[in-house]
């Protein structure tokens, strides 16, 4: 699973792309902080079994935030706009985008999240391949038209994602290994490097103007 550093790097790229003229150090700090929010459910896993990759990784979480933002920003007397102006509105929406695209979707597209928790307690993963063959034509495995799976999907009752905070379900032995992933693939390192360069250049440009 991607580390929080990888999530934050992707959130930084989202912020660099969408903040436009509002880009500065404080704005990008808020955006990358919002990107890391879903990983906070690792701490909830200490008291709520299966909470990691469920509580704040559910797609219902950004959907709820989106609904609240829509209700507020479409009103004539928007609390957010009145307090923080149009800058605050843009920062809120970009932070939401970074949280979804940088904080949740990378986990959904690697080893899964509890996508509709708590309405549906089941972990889902989007994985597969798409290729064009001169012998087999278009081949894709993202959507497989097969009979319904015989094994039930993993739920919070039988699936635990190891984190440095909660490496094993239940009571852990004193010598339990706590592993904090940083990079687990070359593309993750590349993403962090690219994001660091892009955000640094944008910060330099923002200070120069």
Tokens representing 84 are 């923080």
Rounded to whole angstroms, the Cα distance separating 191 from 9 reads: 7
Tokens representing 137 are 């034509």
Q: Tell me the average pLDDT across 151-175.
A: 87
Q: Tell me the average pLDDT across 31-59.
A: 94
Q: Give the single-character DSSP code of 162.
A: -
Angle, CA 185 vertex, CA 181 and CA 191 arms, to 5°: 95
Q: Tell me the average pLDDT across 147-168.
A: 83
Give the confidence band of 173 by pLDDT, cuts at 50, 70, 90.
Answer: confident
Q: What is the pTM of this model?
A: 0.91
Q: What confidence score (pLDDT) does residue 143 get?
A: 79
Does 147 score more than 60 pLDDT?
Answer: no
């Amino acid at each position: 699973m991607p580390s929080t550093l990888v999530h934050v790097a992707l959130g930084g790229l989202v912020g660099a792309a969408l903040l436009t003229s509002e880009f500065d150090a404080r704005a990008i700090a808020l955006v990358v902080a919002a990107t890391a929010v879903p990983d906070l459910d690792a701490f909830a896993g200490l008291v709520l079994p299966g909470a990691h990759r469920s509580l704040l990784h559910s797609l219902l979480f950004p959907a709820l935030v989106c609904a609240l933002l829509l209700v507020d920003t479409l009103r004539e007397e928007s609390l957010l706009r009145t307090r923080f102006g149009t800058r605050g509105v843009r920062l809120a929406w970009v932070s939401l985008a970074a949280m979804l695209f940088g904080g949740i979707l990378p986990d959904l597209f690697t080893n899964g999240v509890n996508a509709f928790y708590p309405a549906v307690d089941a972990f889902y993963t989007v994985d597969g391949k798409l290729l064009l063959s001169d012998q087999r034509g278009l081949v894709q495995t993202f959507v497989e038209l097969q009979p319904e799976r015989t094994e039930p999907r993993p739920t919070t009752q039988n699936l635990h994602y190891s984190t440095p905070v909660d490496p094993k379900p239940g009571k852990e032995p004193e010598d339990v290994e706590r592993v904090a992933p940083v990079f687990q693939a070359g593309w993750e390192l590349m993403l962090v490097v690219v994001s660091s360069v892009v955000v640094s250049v944008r910060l330099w440009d923002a200070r120069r103007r």
